[in-house]
Every structure is written in structure tokens, then in C-alpha cells.
Amino acid sequence: MREKALRGLGGLPPFSPILNKLLASLASEDVSFARLGDLLEKDTVVAGNILHLVNSALYARSGTVNSVRHAVSLMGINKLRNAVLGMSVTRSWSQARPAASWSMVRFNLHSAATAILSDMVAQRVPVDYPEGAFVAGLMHDVGRLLIAVGLPEEYDGVLQHHRLANQSTVESEMAVLGFAHPELSSEALASWKLPEPIQAAVREHHAPPETGPGAKLSLSSVVAAADVYVNSIGVSIVSGDVAQAGADAQAIQRLGLESTRLEDLLGEFQTEFESMTPFFR
């Protein structure tokens, strides 16, 4: 069944040329303003979305930005690349044909929220391979999508087991399928030739390795904490998968953030996520 689920990759629409080039740039960790501008101008949908974003309340500008090159210079390399990756990947995923019970909107919003928060956390605490935080957050649950696309009946069985047995998604996947989505996500990223630290982060995001005192946090621990928080505010793949007590930032705070810095972080996250939400639906 695992091989059949992996074949679900063939059921996903091919990535656009701009997305393939951006994903390739992650391996070299080097992309210039000029390169991004060139790529954006060849994808009118993404270019339009970027102009819409840079003119939103998130950037609070008094004048209108009409030039893609101007938008590139205002947003900066990392913010722009993350926004383009998020918009392009979720647009591609939205063309897939998963199980009828699957919500692509919920999946896109959960993936985007986890990516945005992972990236923000990685800018504030010492993390191994912080430049991969956004993509690791964006891709951490792609294995769940592959199960829904490649094994739609089994996906419904996992969902039923999850609800009736009151077990986690990973536990239910193991019970029904004999494997779980984190390893499937990692194998998908390997096939897309994404950097190994990002593969490891998605593979371990439900069981991050412990780090010793003074050591950098693993990227998987950042994605795991972001995932927990995003689920706690109701931005989950499956409706109802949310802590009854509501927003819970303890997982993020345990990464080493002081209370005041945590409050600033979550406020910034909420603003950016709300600004970007329309592009992930």
C-alpha cells in the first residue's frame, strides 16, 4: 500500500516552471532579486498575487506598487520566495483529486499557517538549517495528501479510526495502513530533490529528536511546535482536530521564547497569516 500511496505523486498536477526553479534554488540556497523578478514576470497569476500582497495592510504602504521588480525589492528575498512557494505549491495541490472527504482548502490553510509560523520561530531561536523552515512547514503533511489521492478508501478508514478510537492521525495510519504520513512526506520531498535537512524535518515532525543544553534546535522541533499551535487555533486538516481549550502556545514557548517575545511573535503571525489567507483558498 505504501508504494501505491507514493504513486499518488503521479496524481498530483506537475509543478509549474517557476515553482520547479524556485524549488531547485533551495538546494543552492542562492537566488537573486533579478532571478526572482524574471521568474515572477513569467507567471502572471503569481505576479498578480504578489502585487496584491505587497499592497495589502501587511506592508502598510501609502502608495500603490505596480511593478513586480518594485515588489521584489520591498519584500526581500526570503519573504518573496516563501510567498511565491506557498502560493504556487498550494495552487498546484488544489488541482489534485483526493478522497471526497478531503478538504483541500483546510489542507492548504494548515500547510501555509504552519510554514509561516515555522519560519517566524526559526528567525527567533537557534535552529539547525533555519532557511528550510518555511518549506518544511509547507510540506510537512504532504504525505497525508498522497494517502488521500493514492488510497482514498483507506484514507477514509484512517479518518474513521481516528475518530472512533480517539487516537492520533499517525497512530490511526499505522493501525490501518502499516505506515504513517511523515515518512511518506519525506520520500516525496526526496523525489523532488529538496535538501536533506528539510526531508528530515518532515520525517521527524511528530517525534523530534531531543537536543542537549546549548545545542541548536532541530528543524523538526520547530515544525512540530508550529503544527501543534496551528491545530490549536482551529486551522487543522480535519474539522474538529483542535484542542478544546483553544489556542495553546506552550509548545512554542518550550523552544525557548520569553513571554513578551512569544506574544509579539504570535501577533505578527496572525497578521501575516490573515493577509496571506486569500491566496491559499
Ordered by where they begin, the domains of the chain are 2-8+77-280 (1.10.3210.10)
As a whole number of angstroms, the distance between CA 278 and CA 259 comes to 30
Q: Which residue has the higher pLDDT, 270 or 27?
A: 270
Distance CA 82, CA 112 (A): 10
**pLDDT at residue number 206:** 95
Q: Looking at the predicted structure, is the pLDDT value of residue 162 above 70?
A: yes
How far is the C-alpha of 173 from the C-alpha of 151, rounded, in Å?
12
Q: With contact defined as beta carbons under 8 Å apart, do 108 and 92 qualify?
A: no
The Cα-based distances of 60 to 65, 72, 74, 146 in angstroms read 11, 16, 12, 38
* Max CA separation in the chain (angstroms): 56
Q: Please give the share of the chain, as a percent, with pLDDT higher than 90.
A: 47
Q: What is the pLDDT of residues 43-69, one digit of tens each?
A: 777 788 888 888 876 765 667 888 777
pLDDT digits (tens, 9 = 90+) for 170-214: 999 999 999 999 999 999 999 888 889 999 999 999 999 887 777
- Residue with grid cell 537573486, as numbered in its chain: 32
**Interval 108-145: pLDDT, tens:** 999 999 999 999 999 999 999 998 999 999 999 999 99
* Distance in angstroms (rounded) separating the CA atoms of residues 81 and 91: 15
Distance of alpha carbon 204 from alpha carbon 202, whole angstroms? 5
Q: C-alpha angle with apex 190: 186 to 195, nearest 5 degrees?
A: 95
Q: What is the DSSP letter of 62?
A: S
Neighbours of 238 (CB within 10 A): 18
Residue 215 CB coordination number (10 Å): 10
Helix pair angle (17-28, 77-93), 10° resolution = 130
End-to-end CA distance of the chain: give it in Å, rounded.
30
Q: Looking at per-residue confidence, does 51 or 11 come out higher? A: 51
Whether the pLDDT of residue 13 is over 60: the answer is: yes
Nearest to 134 by CA among 77, 208, 182, 74: 77
Residue 146 has pLDDT above 80, yes or no: yes
Q: Classify residue 229 by burial, with Cβ atoms within 10 Å: 0-12, 13-18, 19+.
A: buried
Q: In the chain, pLDDT over 70 holds for what percent of residues?
A: 89
Q: Looking at residues 75-104, what average pLDDT do you find?
A: 84
In the beta sheet, which residues pair with residue 217? Answer: 127
180 vs 185: CA distance, rounded Å: 9
